[in-house]
Structure 1
Amino acid sequence: MKATVIATFFGVFLTCTYTAKEATKKTKKAKLYVPQIDCDVKAGKIINPEFIAKCPPGCQDVKHRVYGTDIYASFSSVCNAAIHSGIIDNTGGKVLVQKVAGHSGYRGSFSNGVRSLSLPRWRESFLVSEGKPRKGVTYPSTLEYSSSKSTAVKSEPNKPEQDLKGTKSADPANTSEKASDQGDTARKEHQTTPVLTPATEMATTTPTPTTTTTEPSTTVPQPTTTPAAPRTTAAPAKARPGLHRGRDMGSSSVHPAYASVVAAAATMEIDSWKPGLSLFDTGFSSKEELNPKPLESISQGNQNCKVDLSFLMDGSWSIGKRRFQLQKRFLGNMAQALGIGSAGPLMGIVQYGDDPSTEFNLKTYANSKDLRNAIEKIQQKGGLSNVGKALSFVNKNFFLDANGNRGGAPNVVVVMVDGWPTDRVEEASRLARESGINIFFVTVEAAAQSEKQNVIEPNFVDKAVCRTSGFYSINVPSWFSLHKVVQPLVKRVCDTERLACSKTCLNAADIGFVIDGSSSVGTGNFRTVLQFVANISKEFEISDTDTRIGAVQYTYEQRLEFSFDKYSTKQDVLNAIKRISYWSGGTSTGAAISYASEQLFSKSKPNKRKIMILITDGRSYDDVSVPAMAAHQNGVIAYSIGVAWAAPDELEAIASDPAKEHSFFVDDFDNLYRYVNQLIQNICTEFNSQPRN
């Protein structure tokens, strides 16, 4: 009996143990499938806010660019950023990517065999870490791309073709590659899933990703049926991303000034140094050539006026209801006269009072008729005339990819003001100009004599516009006369060759020359070097908001000839170069680079490209690699020009990557002039290839 009980007990025990094991197997969490990405895939092309991906071997390549250190701009290659940060090596591996908000001042550095580049600003950033899932976070097994051109890797075998027919929604984790591509194409035309854009900042720095179901729309909204967009009240916004509003790097359309500068640089002639030749008499002038890129739209518009235009509409109480109606009529007439269309001007309106708000952006309406009808429906906001606040709002929020900014078109703001602003405009307008916005003012019914004591900035127009020549400002004595300035204003905003604030390679840099003044150069050759410096300088648009020039001369010691903020006109800069006196002495190039970094480039404006052009004729008595590396890490783009006995290895160490595009050598000082056009062309080519929002 006892033996039977014991046998029964063991039988029950073994049965329970087996059942428990089977239950454990059934409830065991499925293994995470990690999708593979290509070496060139940029973080910004992937919609998922957090994901784990596998990088293939061999991604450590200079062509897969990285921008930043520790925190990277989303324009960077995911895999190369992971190698740069030390998460993986060139054999590949898993990487955890977390999207975070964009910021300014991405710092370049050299780490783990990868050179990352500096970048002033970008709309979105990301962090990389070891490819292990975080607790409580669900990761997608298939990545969702913002464009159908990207390569999404399938995580499961294809479903039968008949299962896909008639399907309207596509789960990115379960559909075939064909369905994924179709979904990507539809999302590109009509996005229904929340996507990280410059106008949609993430709520946290480590968002929890989820695998969402997206239903691609089968119809694309046309401009003729689009209702007036609701006003977006200004709120605390993130820092403006980008020196220039968003550029589609895949587009063949570039700003006319960029293309013309590179083309002109390839053919311009620079005078060599000749006895009796007047210094500073050489150079070239470039002209813009419109190259519009048509978009899909009902109206192509006036193709001779391809600008992205924002009107700041005065909605303050001071204007009154009747004059507000006259202002709307004027804006409607402007829309008609401009010839709104996808290949011509695009126009949006921001109304300001106490706070600014967007009535509609650049992509809301793509023809003059619909735009005029929408303008008629605008309701007055009321409040004060806070123009400065409105300019800051436009600078940070209006000219973005998400709002229809085209990148290849100049950005123009026309400010309508009844009387005078009730806040300061100087600082806000300066930041807008430095971001490439061309500011026009239309002032109506200026302050009466008894009212002038209440004006905060009596000369606010001159402090705000791009140039004080009168081209950027129109004063109208009465709102009833406003219709008379429609055609003059259209002519001005469409004259793209005179839009001086548009960002180009010629007006967006702080350029510091580091000049060898050692005894081996000699007085005559030193004057030839100065002409070389002048020939380069005179091709840039020089002012306190455009390109600025500084110069350092060195021997054993260093001397600051003039700083970036010393001269604000081209003629003053050329005169200052002419006055530089030859020093004579030894050659400590490394110390000179450190000195230039501290005395020149540390004072550079954050939204300016920092360019150092160093000219030397011999080997340095000190090390150049460490100071040059420090300059590169601080965002300085270095060009080295060697003459006669200059050491090629030092020139390459000084130059930014790739060295062959940033380092030059001539056998004689008299041949320096031959590299002026090449240097200008390389500077412009590099500027044009840099990502911008």
Structure 2
Amino acid sequence: MFPRSVQLLFTTVMVLSSVLCAPSSGAQPVGCQTRGADLSLDQDQDRTVLCPSDCPHRVSVFGTKVYAAVSSVCGAALHSGVLGMSGGPVVVKKLPGRLNYMKSYSNGVQSQHLPRWTSSFSLDYAEQEPLELSSQTSTTALPAEEPVKKPLKKITVKKVLNRGNKDCQLDVMVVLDGSENIGRRRFNLQKNFVVRLASFLKVGPIGPHVGLVQASGAPKTEFLLNNFTQPKDLLYAIKEVSYSGGETNTGKAILHAAESLFSQERGGRRGHPKVLLVLVDGWPSDDLDQASVMARESGINVFLVSVAKPSADELPMVPDKDFTKKAVCKDNGHFSFSIPSWFSANKHVKTLTQRLCSMDNLLCSKTCYNSINLGFLIDGSSSVGDSNFQIVLDFLAEIAQHFDISDVAARVGAVQFTYDQRLEFGLQEYSNKQEVLGALRSIYYMSGGTATGSAIEFATHHLFSRRSSRGRDFLVVITDGQSYDDVRAPAIAAHKQGVTMLAVGVAWAPVEDLRDMASEPKDSHTFFSREFSGLHEFIPNIVKAICRQFNENN
């Protein structure tokens, strides 16, 4: 047994510890995902809340020092440094809305930029309420943590979070018509239409993501694809968009969205289909052709919803009567949608949602840059030499550099040949561009004879599957001399299998052999240079030839 004095000291320390660690009795327990908007505070009112421990650093936080009310309170507290990972009480004060919430990285939390929001909050340290210490040795004060544990166990915020429609994992950027032509009343009807559409899409972290840009005199980004991934937040954000007025410069808005709003830096997701839903009241003021071409070449599926199409009397005022055909991904009826009036628009939402989520019909998702299987057949014969062989590898790496290489996009493989053949790496071996470029540049030079025909058979069999989609397999053959075997029959067999061949010859390579190997049209698939140093001039035309052939076949 310890002496009574030691027992008294131990009990006093335990009581003191529990008092110092206990939160303010008036603190409201919240979860890691609880937002400032969920606290129902009046303007300039503050409240002490109790954050749990170990909140994840990847929570939605918008702003720096002053945070948009849609932000996670505990996430903002971590970002500001008011709390640590152990959680605890923090004072939340409601502030007016503002423009331009600035993003920053602080205390392990990355906050995001938000153009505007209707209300804000700030954070401060919570003052601990002083409690009297009793000189009695009773241990009844030790269970003081029980009131904290019980409410924490009841917090199940994650269970009610919407995960989204996993069968419709799109990145959808909506272009609102904010022109003078639509007017404020129809602009609000248009927003209601988009709200209803967003509800039908069932947005969520693993479902569709929606961003919004307003078309008027100059395009205005309202919010990005990853700003709001919960339905409640997204619908509120759409309703808060204010009317701009001005011209209907839809082309500028399409170009703005296609150039910058689908990038990973702006919230786009790698490997997810890109959709640009363009809403036009009447007709656009500017040209859509060039902007839409750029969108299609970027793998963006442009849908155009035309509301209140021009009447026969109005047609002479329309600059381009075929603007719908030029704007959409493909003029096949799937990507264009006509609605007589905004007053009847909501009854078309279900049909439009089904079209957007019809993944197999999103034809523009697949481009030459992100959908091909690209094989390189490399002459490693003695006549090439070490230094020229390295020039060849750099040349092929620069071709590969033009494509979006990943496990869900373009794939690259390589075969080297002399009399023998060696599979350097297959199409499935590397899943990102840097790995492929490194593998190409580190290929070891074989040296030997030249049997190009046998090499074509080997590459066709080892690189390309007979089940591959036709029009997506490309083989670039590079050789510097005469083959000791026949090239024509193996090339024809490869063509019949659906492999498009591009023949690149250097030095003593016979042009007749190159043309026998090349796919039709021969002139655009055959390249010849006297010197290895001239190979780099062919790169733009080789990439164009691949894309031209891909687009014709797909």
TM-score (norm 2): 0.48
- Higher RCO, 1 vs 2 (CA within 8 Å, ≥6 residues apart): 1
By percentage of residues, which structure has more strand?
2
Larger Rg: 2
